[in-house]
Amino acid sequence: MSETNEHSRLILPSELSSSTSTTEVTLSWSNLYVETRDSGSSCWSSISSSCFRRHKKKQEKSRIILQDVTGNARTGQILAIMGTSGVGKTTLMNALSGHLGDNLVVPSGNVYLNGFPTTDTERRKSGHIGYAEQQEFFIDTMSLEEHLIFQAMLRLPSELTDDERRSRVKNTIAQLHLNKCMKNTINQLSGGEKKRLALASVFLTEPSVLLIDEPTSGLDSYLAMHIMRTIHSMAFEQRKTVIVVIHQPTSSMFDLCDIIFLLVKGGRQAFYGTKDEALEFFIKQCHLSPSSIDGFIEQLAAPPNRNVDEDTNIQTQVADQYASSEQAVALKETIEHQLTLGNNTILTDRMKLFKNPTFGRQVKWLLWRSFVSDTRNSVRTTFVLFRTVVLTCIFGIVYFQLCRSGHFMQNVNAVSFTVVALTVNASAYVILSTMPINNKIGIRENHRGMFSILAYYVSVVVHDFPMLITFPLLVNTIIYWMSGMDNTWSHYLSFIAVGILVSNTASAYGQFFASFSSTIEGAISASVPILQTFTILSGFFLSLTHIPTALRVLQYISPHYYAYTTFMILEWKTGSITHQLNCSRSENYLESINQVSSYNYSRAEFCSRILRHSGDNIDGRYLAFNILMLALLFVTCHILAFLVIFYRANRRYVFDFLFKSKTSLMTDYKPFT
């Protein structure tokens, strides 16, 4: 089928019949201000400024992004937010949907649903508002259909059965004509298909209010027009309230919009009203001469031959003119009238319908997504496995049967250290190379009310567990038998068990480091020096009794240290040493060390001497202590990682609580002024 034909059969408004009745919801906002949080109100600056008062003057002042904007989006209409790049369109959409960035505050203003003032959380979690963001994040290895199934399982009303949810997914796919590519993974989709997938994720939940940020950018005019027609049908036929941000609309796209909301530099409102009112306002009141409203938008976009001051001047004049215009007064009166009718049944009814999925259901579907994503990503998984086996075999060849040679003690220590370094670093880096992005998506989905951070974190730990058993099992087995460490099953099994514990502790460290950063590069570059320091402090390279006291503290949180020490004790104290002494190499070894061969040590004394020789505090009595410490670090790192992610997901509430700043929480409902 040709591209044009494919496009032409994309959306026919008549095809879009609503299967469910929609609650009619009006979204309005009044006197909304958004500004960046004063840098002095961050946790760190508060602490630092109280410690170093002289720096206080240098703290950055907050920056206003939106000032005094008021608007009203009604059922059955499309409200188009317009304005040049950087005027605050996305910020307004974020504020309306309850997704403002943590560093932004709302010093005044309210957002109402049917005239009732709402908090950020209520708007996010009520299910009334569906928000397709300017930049959506997807798990690229999921197929389009799987992505929608996951959304359906956690975002639709609790009374629906799984089959009903799946059939809703099918309908939505058909509605947006995505059938052809529903089995494609998201990274195989075209830009237009991804846009439609973002819309499908919003349409799926059948919200009453649709907020869509730039649905048409980056699409050819034909596809852009079809998407606008779909949105128009949603508004008109399904009685939805729709707010879209559009850049450079064609005149036919423009015709589909009912209300124009214009923002200009400094986040000021320059107009709200119908297209006819807009033309009248710009021509009669502002004395501009555009032939059409889009012509006026073009004028605002500062053509290259106009200087910046002149451009700012025109925009300021228009915004001033609007502030005292009849349209602005009429809008305020409309909202005031809505407030007198406002009641919160709209929220409570929907909240009853949209009960959070149970904890078990949340974990189950999060795990489903992780495993499906893994199977889709089998090439990568196989590659990681293959690389690990090859690397381990290379080490195995280098150390081949060296643990049975004359200098076996040094070789056994080297093999133990190599196993520790391989296990800890590989386990930590596997986590660091995926979790920063997963956490970012997890926090975003948590904001949409799909699952709790605890369910998310539990699913992450459970999902990683099979890998953290397989990995050390493979590495340790290969190295163990190739290097000829010992040939008793009991020693081998303890070697594997400790390897599994070390791998899990290392992954907990990885989770902890990854929890701070939202980029993979950031997480890896911050953790490399720390992991390197831990490696040096393992006890293999230097005698830890002689390092500075400050560094010794780090030794006690080094997984390498406890892991290496445990392997040493296992090798030289428990069971194995008996074997060592019974084989001929021990005699070689005894002969090779003067102070040992010149005395007639008992076996027990020989063991303890080797242990002391191998490193500090390597004493058989500490085996249980070392294992306990590894387990304790495992638990502590996971708890800390969970708390950091939880904090990141709830940062603005923590800030509000600590600094008593009023953000978009809007708990104190201000009367309209």
Ligand X SMILES: Nc1ncnc2c1ncn2[C@@H]1O[C@H](COP(=O)(O)OP(=O)(O)OP(=O)(O)O)[C@@H](O)[C@H]1O
In angstroms, the CA 264 to CA 543 distance is 66
CB 587 within 8 A of CB 406: no
Nearer to ligand X, 86 or 191 (CB): 86
Q: Is 267 left (phi over 0), alpha (psi -120 to 50) or beta?
A: left
3-state secondary structure of 26: coil
Torsion-angle region of 509 (φ positive above 0: left; ψ -120 to 50: alpha; else: beta): alpha
Nearer to Mg ion, 75 or 90 (CB): 90
CB of 104 to ligand X, least distance (A): 5
Cβ at position 249, least distance to ligand X in Å: 13
The 8 Å CB, 24+ separation contacts for 533-537 are 533/558, 534/424, 534/558, 534/559, 534/560, 534/561, 535/421, 535/424, 535/425, 535/560, 537/561
Token readout for 412 is 């056994």
Tell me how far, at minimum, the Cβ of 29 lies from ligand X, in Å: 15
Q: Which is nearer to ligand X, 265 or 448 (CB)?
A: 265
36 binds, among ligand X, Mg ion, none (CB under 5 to 8 A by kind): ligand X
DSSP single-letter state for residue 283: I
Judged by CB under 6 A, the number of residues near ligand X is: 14
Please tell me the number of Cα atoms within 13 Å of 659 on its side-chain side: 23
The binder of 104, among Mg ion, ligand X, none, by C-beta within 5 to 8 A per type, is ligand X
CA separation for the pair 302, 21 (Å, rounded): 45
List 39, 103, 321, 586, residue binding ligand X (CB under 6 A): 103
* Piece of the chain touching ligand X by CB under 6 A; list 81-89, 385-393, 405-413, 435-443: 81-89
Q: Mark the segment that binds Mg ion (CB under 5 A) among 75-83, 84-92, 256-264, 353-361.
A: 84-92
For residues 362 and 356, what is the distance between their CA atoms, to the nearest angstrom?
9
Residue 85 makes contact with ligand X by CB under 6 A: yes
For the CB of residue 363, give the shortest distance to Mg ion in the complex, in Å: 35
For residue 232, give every residue at least 6 positions away whose Cβ sits within 8 Å of its Cβ, in sequence order, or none: 13, 78, 256
Q: What minimum distance in Å lies between the beta carbon of 66 and ligand X?
A: 8
As measured in angstroms, the least distance from the Cβ of 93 to Mg ion is 8
- Residue 86 near which of Mg ion, ligand X, none (CB within 5-8 Å, type-dependent): ligand X
Nearer CB in complex with Mg ion: 49/91: 91
How far apart are CB 439 and ligand X at their closest, in Å? 18
* Positions in 85-114 near Mg ion (CB under 5 A): 89-90
- The yes or no reply on residue 97 touching ligand X (CB under 6 A) is no
Among 19, 61, 86, 383, binds ligand X (CB under 6 A): 86
Chosen residue from 26, 35, 78, 89 binding ligand X by CB under 6 A: 89
- Token output for 500: 């599994």
Least distance to Mg ion, CB of residue 88, Å:
8
Cα gap 218→193, rounded to integer Å: 11
- Per the CB < 8 A criterion, the answer to whether 300 and 315 are in contact is yes
| C-beta neighbour count of 467 within 10 angstroms | 17
Binding at 449: pick from Mg ion, ligand X, none (beta carbon under 5-8 Å per type): none
Sequence-ordered list of residues with C-beta below 8 angstroms from that of 505, at least 6 positions apart, any chain: 424, 559, 562, 563, 630, 631, 633, 634, 637
Q: Does 101 bind ligand X (CB under 6 A)?
A: yes
Of 192, 197, 178, 179, give the one whose Cα is nearest residue 139. 197
Contact call for residue 106 and ligand X (CB under 6 A): no
Binding positions for Mg ion, 128-147, rule CB under 5 A:
134
Site string for ligand X, 26-65 (x = CB under 6 A): ----------x----------------------------x
HEC secondary structure over 115-142: CEECCHHHHHHCCCEEEECCCCCCCCCC
Q: Are 468 and 504 in contact (CB under 8 A)?
A: yes
Distance spanning both ends of the chain, measured CA to CA: 58
Residue 245 Cβ vs ligand X, minimum distance, rounded to whole Å: 7
Q: Which of 88, 117, 442, 615 binds ligand X (CB under 6 A)?
A: 88
Question: Looking only at residues 151 through 170 of this chain, which bind Mg ion when binding is defined by CB under 5 A?
Answer: none
Considering beta carbons, is residue 102 or 237 the nearer one to ligand X? Answer: 102
Residue nearest to Mg ion (CB): 90
Residue 103, contacted partner among ligand X, Mg ion, none, CB below 5-8 A by kind: ligand X
Residue 181 or 244: which CB sits closer to Mg ion?
244
Distances (CA, A) of 99 to 73, 337, 447, 665: 18, 27, 8, 11
Distance CA 405, CA 398 (A): 13
> Which of 11, 80, 87, 186 forms a contact with ligand X (CB under 6 A)?
87
Least distance in angstroms from the C-beta of 517 to ligand X: 17
State which residue, 95 or 422, has the beta carbon closest to ligand X: 95
User: At closest approach, how far in Å is the CB of 263 from Mg ion?
Assistant: 11
Angle at 663 between CA 132 and CA 53, to 5 degrees: 125
Q: What is the DSSP string of 662-673?
A: --TT--SPPPP-
Stretch that binds ligand X, among 84-92, 225-233, 496-504, 540-548 (CB under 6 A): 84-92
Is 91 or 151 the residue whose CB approaches ligand X more closely? 91
If the CB atoms of residues 60 and 164 are measured against ligand X, the closer one turns out to be 60
Task: Kindly state the smallest distance separating residue 111's Cβ from ligand X, in Å.
Answer: 16
Residue closer to Mg ion (CB basis): 92 or 235: 92
Q: Which is nearer to ligand X, 65 or 204 (CB)?
A: 65
Residue 141, binding choice from ligand X, Mg ion, none, Cβ under 5 to 8 Å by partner class: none
Q: CB of 93: closest distance to ligand X in angstroms?
A: 8
Taking the complex as a whole, how short is the minimal distance between the CB of residue 134 and Mg ion, in angstroms?
Answer: 5
Place of tokens 């206080």: 56
Largest CA distance in the chain: 110
Region of 623 on the Ramachandran plot (φ > 0 left; ψ -120 to 50 alpha; else beta)? alpha
Contact pick of 32, 79, 80, 104 for ligand X (by CB under 6 A): 104
Cα–Cα distance between 460 and 373 in angstroms, integer? 13
Locate 62 and state its tokens: 């907050």
85 binds, options ligand X, Mg ion, none, Cβ within 5 to 8 A by partner type: ligand X
Query: Of the listed pieces 67-75, 83-91, 410-418, 636-644, which binds ligand X according to CB under 6 A?
Result: 83-91
Picked from Mg ion, ligand X, none, the partner binding residue 328 (CB below 5 to 8 A depending on kind) is: none
Return the residues of window 128-167 that contact ligand X according to CB under 6 A: 134
- 359 Cβ contact list (under 8 Å, min separation 6): 452, 454, 455
Which strand (E) or helix (H) includes residue 30?
strand 27-36
DSSP assigned state of 29: E
Half-sphere exposure for 656 (CA within 13 Å, toward CB): 16
In the complex, least distance from residue 135 CB atom to Mg ion, rounded to whole angstroms: 9
CB 474 within 8 A of CB 392: yes
CA–CA distance, 109 with 96 (Å, rounded to integer): 11
Q: Which stretch binds ligand X (CB under 6 A): 78-86, 228-236, 325-333, 490-498?
A: 78-86
**Please, which residue, 120 or 146, has the CB nearer to ligand X?**
120
- The pair of structure tokens assigned to 269 is 């409102």
Q: Which residues bind Mg ion (CB under 5 A)?
A: 89-90, 134
Q: Which residues bind ligand X (CB under 6 A)?
A: 36, 65, 83, 85-91, 101, 103-104, 134
